[in-house]
Structure 1
Amino acid sequence: MIKLDRTPKPVELTAELQAKLTDEFKLTGKSVWNIDFIKNSLLDFSNNKCCYCEANIKEESKYLEVEHFHHKGKYKDEVLEWDNLLPSCKKCNGTKNDHDTILEPIIDPSIVEPKKHLKYWRYRIKGTDEFGKLTVSVLNLNDQDRLVTKRYEIGNAIQEKLEQLNEFTDDFISGIQTSTIRKNKIINGTKALMKEGLPNSIYSATTATIILTDIEFDTLKSKLILLKFWDEELSYLETNLQNTGLELYK
């Protein structure tokens, strides 16, 4: 989970339309929020990711579920309040279900910085306070089959890539392979890997955390600095990863 900067309410969602559809929902229970301009705005808002688990919504559940942070069954007046709507995958929305976020608050990533309440430990997310612990529990952020296994797969792929980049760099330093092609493969490969941890990428918090906490990354960075390959773009990418990734739980 990462902090999301909420975009402005869609211009199509006028006060008049919102009031009309809210009344319709109260009378009929109809899913008045299933409107393309609402769903598209929510997808843009989150870079097509679930606001909670960061899965690609179109891959995870094939379609967006409009999540009502304050449950629509109890807080009916908020059913079309823009600040109450979030983009969710089917799994997270179903897991959260009718949890009352007023009585028992959890993290709303459009308001709260998740990093202040969550840390990372062995492919699992750990709450650092009661607020974070309840969030992890309500959303089942450590679902073994769906999320913990996925984080392991991401971590394994990152470690293999970092080892490969370090091997390429060692060959360059030792003079075995010093071609421009090899140099570009090292620099561009490092940048491509780091971009996978940017906020617009799926599972960005996991990817950023794993990269920054892997000793292979520290080793690679030191070598690139030695070779004067570490440039402004790499520094920029590292800063963004630091802003996205979670601290390790100790």
Structure 2
Amino acid sequence: MRRVKRLPLGKKAVAYLGRCQKNTNRKAEAGVLDIEKEWKSARKTQTMQAVLKTLQKMMGSRERCMYCLDSHGSDIEHFRPKALHHKRMFRWRNLLLCCTECGRLKGNRFPTDGKRPLLIDPTKEEPWEHLDFIPETGHIKARFDPRINAWSPKGEKTVETLHLDRREALEAGYLKTLRRLSRIIDNFLENPSFSASHLLESLSADDEHGLLGWIFIGTGQHHPPFKDLREQHPLIWEKCMADFSINR
């Protein structure tokens, strides 16, 4: 998972979503709302295709799922499920891009702590503040939060809901990306002849699974070769970390 910048929609799409939401709210008040029918009808329109295209653009050329980053994002996902939150069914900030597997696993599940969501929304927060990665196995798990002396509740529920610790193909993809990033760092440590900006650019180009967040924000900085970079070239490390934080 990685932090995703939400792009603005075109005026036509914004207006269309607004009309759809008003119509949905009106039908709900009249007691005649069929949520699935309403969504499927809107989903077939060219304007909703434009909404999907914007979500895909947010994920780069490979159009990865915003949850797992390992599979192609094939459809529009409601962060707050439309079956539970019809008033957000057409809200742009409630729409994400997900793959078939993540969509199936999440379904209408939306754990909360009171009103606070216990799922990570990658367009609103840094996932690696709640998640951790095990480089020996490729597993994703909840991150330990020393402030509460426990595992992150949001990390735990996200992993549990999306089975992030039980998907072999997902683990293989993350491990492949880890090997690529490690190789870039190893090469730099052997021949530190280029700038921090060039190093970060190379890392970003090969980071298909958002592991730079784990490296610069999470616990990856304590694992070699990233630990070696931090200790042997502290200025390079600080520059990479600062630029990464600005651009994410």
TM-score in same-fold range (> 0.5) = yes
Deviations 1:119-145 (A, max 9, x none): 233332221322210111101122342
Q: Does 1:105 align with 2:118?
A: yes
Equivalence for 2:139:
124
Q: Does 1:202 align with 2:208?
A: yes
| Equivalent residue in structure 1 for 2:166, among 136, 143, 155 | 143
Structure 1 vs Structure 2 CA RMSD: 3.8
Equivalence for 2:30:
none
- Say if 1:156 and 1:200 are closer, same or farther in 2 by CA, change over 3 A: closer
Structure 1 residue 209, shift from structure 2 partner: 1.9
Find the aligned partners of 2:247 and 2:69 in 1 and give their Cα distance: 12
- Say if 1:134 and 1:224 are closer, same or farther in 2 by CA, change over 3 A: closer
Structure 1 residue 86, shift from structure 2 partner: 0.8
Structure 1 residue 219, shift from structure 2 partner: 4.2
Equivalence for 1:154:
177
Structure 2 counterpart of 1:7, which letter? L
Spell out the pairing of 1:85-96 with structure 2 (5 A cutoff): 85-96=95-106
- Say if 1:154 and 1:116 are closer, same or farther in 2 by CA, change over 3 A: closer
Find the aligned partners of 1:26 and 1:213 in 2 and give their Cα distance: 48
Find the aligned partners of 1:42 and 1:199 in 2 and give their Cα distance: 20
% identity of equivalent residues: 18
Equivalence for 2:2:
2
Find the aligned partners of 2:87 and 2:170 in 1 and give their Cα distance: 33
Spell out the pairing of 1:1-250 with structure 2 (5 A cutoff): 1-12=1-12, 13-14=14-15, 15-20=18-23, 26=35, 28-29=37-38, 30=40, 32-33=42-43, 35-47=48-60, 48-55=63-70, 60-61=71-72, 64-101=74-111, 105-122=118-135, 123-127=138-142, 128-168=151-191, 186-187=193-194, 194-195=200-201, 197-198=203-204, 202-205=208-211, 209=215, 212-219=221-228, 236-241=239-244
Find the aligned partners of 2:247 and 2:141 in 1 and give their Cα distance: 16
> TM-score by structure 2 length?
0.67
Deviations 1:191-244 (A, max 9, x none): 55533554995212357529744433454567668xxxx77xx75433244689
Equivalence for 1:172:
none
CA contact (8 A) 2:24 2:86 kept: no
- Say if 1:96 and 1:38 are closer, same or farther in 2 by CA, change over 3 A: same
Find the aligned partners of 1:193 and 1:17 in 2 and give their Cα distance: 46
Find the aligned partners of 1:131 and 1:165 in 2 and give their Cα distance: 35
Structure 1 residue 68, shift from structure 2 partner: 0.7
Find the aligned partners of 2:118 and 2:231 in 1 and give their Cα distance: 43
> TM-score by structure 1 length?
0.67
CA contact (8 A) 1:118 1:132 kept: yes
Structure 1 counterpart of 2:173, which letter? K
- Say if 1:101 and 1:86 are closer, same or farther in 2 by CA, change over 3 A: farther
User: Is the deviation greater in 204-213 or in 70-79?
Assistant: 204-213
> Structure 2: which 5+ residue stretches go unaligned?
28-32, 143-150
Find the aligned partners of 1:150 and 1:67 in 2 and give their Cα distance: 22
CA contact (8 A) 2:184 2:203 kept: no
- Say if 1:33 and 1:80 are closer, same or farther in 2 by CA, change over 3 A: farther
User: Is the deviation greater in 136-145 or in 30-39?
Assistant: 30-39
> Structure 1: which 5+ residue stretches go unaligned?
170-185, 246-250
